Structure 1
Amino acid sequence: MPHLQISNSQDDSQSQYSYYHLPVTHHCIVSIKHKNSYISSLVIGGKFLYTGSSNKEIRMLKRDNLRYEFDHENLNNSMIITGKGAVKSLVVSADTIYSAHQDHKIRVWKVDENEAQQEKLTQLATLPTFSDRALTILIPKNHVQVTRHKKSTWVHHNDTVSALAVSGDGLVLYSVSWDRTLKIWRTTDLKCLESVANAHDDAINAVALSSHGDVYTGSTDKKIKIWRKSNSIEGKKHYLVTTLEKHRSGINALALSTNENVLYSGASDRLIMVWEKSADDDMVVVCTLKGHAKSILSLSVVSDLLCSGSADETIRIWRGVENCYFCLAVLEGHNGPVKCLTSETDHSRSSDTSASYLIYSAGLDSDIKVWQIGIPL
């Protein structure tokens, strides 16, 4: 039975072991090898599962027909090749999809249905847009020093765009990059509103967004930073609220709990830290999750469950009870690091006596897998 070492303190001498004995069922219901590349991003949007790969491909797959499509390899009509390098992140807002790329750009897509009633992705724009670039390039103060011998306008990312987040109302897009910047975009006209330069001391790998506008960024510099929009008359810019420093190595993934009171962070130190807001609005570590043998690469939250993917080729399913977290299951089947995770409640199989979930995973073994998880209530 999988177990979890619980630590309510940063001092391992105060750690205690707990076991969770619950008849959790789990099995892989779909598995497919993605040819010629690995999966670098994964997201659910409506009736589709969108995937981004290391060789510039974005695919849209009907979730209720995954087995059929995979078995018949009938995927070419739902594939787009774009940009240069890997598609690092995908986010969905209504029928708009935003993709982050290794070529320093963000692309905007719309789901269209053609006369044959087959959906496809149509590109609307590349960020920064031509008009945004044109308005800034002629004004010297809009140019920033990128390297010793290179300048660029502040609306440009100058390295891989590593992660994206979109507000609940779909009006604001946030992007982070290995160039150490956080940028904020207005989705109605795709204008770059703000760029937080040198937001971290090293590459930024992850971003998470709360419904009330707090932005969490995680970096290779081992720090998590929380940003908040100022309501001052002088200008509604984002300012640094606080810096969280507990991890011993670079942070790769962030996720918020369903009620947004808890922040989860996964890092190359093999730890998942559970941060909770205190009465005075500070974030404190209430638990450190240990179990993975290698770096934590991906996190996903569904209901009261936390899913973690690791370079140790496993996925762990965690549940917290009053700041004590238990490992409900360890999913084994990947033959490479699990780079991407997303999850959802499976309402068709849930009942009054049990809850059912679907976990979608992918990574460096080029496999896409769908897992069915059943948990008694």
Structure 2
Amino acid sequence: MANPKVLVRMVDILLWYIAQGAQFIRLDAIAFLWKEQGTSCIHHENTHRIVQFLRALLEQYAPWVRLITETNVAQTENLSYFGKGQEAHMVYQFPLPPLLLDAYIRQNARVLTSWAQALPNVPEGSLFFNFAASHDGIGLLPSYDFLSEEERKHLIETVKARGGRISYKDTPNGKIPYEMNINYFSAITDPRWPQQKRVDCFLSSQAILLALDGIPGIYYHSLIGSENWQEGVHKTGYNRSINRQKLSFEELETELTHTGSLRSLVVQGWKRLLAARNNAFTPGSGQQIFALHAKVFALLRGNPEDSPVLCLHNVSDVRVELSLASAVPPQYLITRNLLGSPVRCTVQHEIHMEPYEVMWLELRSNLLAQV
């Protein structure tokens, strides 16, 4: 990249993709772009300069295109690619996949809640790119700042018990777990559970992905209810193949149209969540995270003037009772659950949630509710 001809050629390729209609440009593993002897190379200042240059180029010639940086590293380093609002439009939210998985495996949302509460405000015009699954594995490095060694070990052992593999990274102190290679549905649900319980658990976790402020990214195998592809790992000898199943269109179509199949149930659940999200959340509208209960991930989305939505997600397989008093301003009423089920809330804002239940509760001021 120190050679200007290489940079010009790279820009030429990016502009060609934009000319074909690309609206998002993903800079894969961008942290390692610049190489210089005597340095670790990662996060080099010249790498940040290149990202700034590409952002300026897009703003000048294709302002509708969004630049996304992919850096599977610790959170502080990851967030550095926002710069001061002059680098990436979006940054992958890498701590989310392992922390979300941890919450559902331990049936405890405290770490996930604490992490979300501490998220910094992003520069104006910037957003987080929220995701749970991808064509790669579930990165462990971003979890080191948030999970204890015991919690991380429990996470790894559960993933292995559910058919996953662990990839390791060489460091000066020896090998460390780097990535968990497993399909996200298979990771977050116990294969011994009844099918409907597995679907409810998985969709509950994905509702958190959709509710968080930012842009959600949904991996297609998550969208269509895939599970571990062990055959792919045996064929290729490559751990990441476990979540890269090659599908037959005819077989997929048959499964999706078969009422009661795993894929059909997952897709129908996604449709319900996405329909509700489209009418409720605007990226960049802000969020407030609440620690209402150890087994519930709760956040308030939107501005008070625009009928905000209180999003509640039970991360456990037990019935939970909680109070919403600290999350619902006294001048507000709960008008409806955007996901359709009845609102079981007392005048004192006490509520109960069934196992893995999701509630997106629309709030309106007393004055607006009377209009």
TM above 0.5, one fold? no
TM, length-normalised to structure 2: 0.26
* Higher share in strand: 1
Q: Which has the higher contact order (CA 8 A, sep 6+)?
A: 1
Which structure is larger by alpha-carbon Rg, 1 or 2?
2
TM, length-normalised to structure 1: 0.25
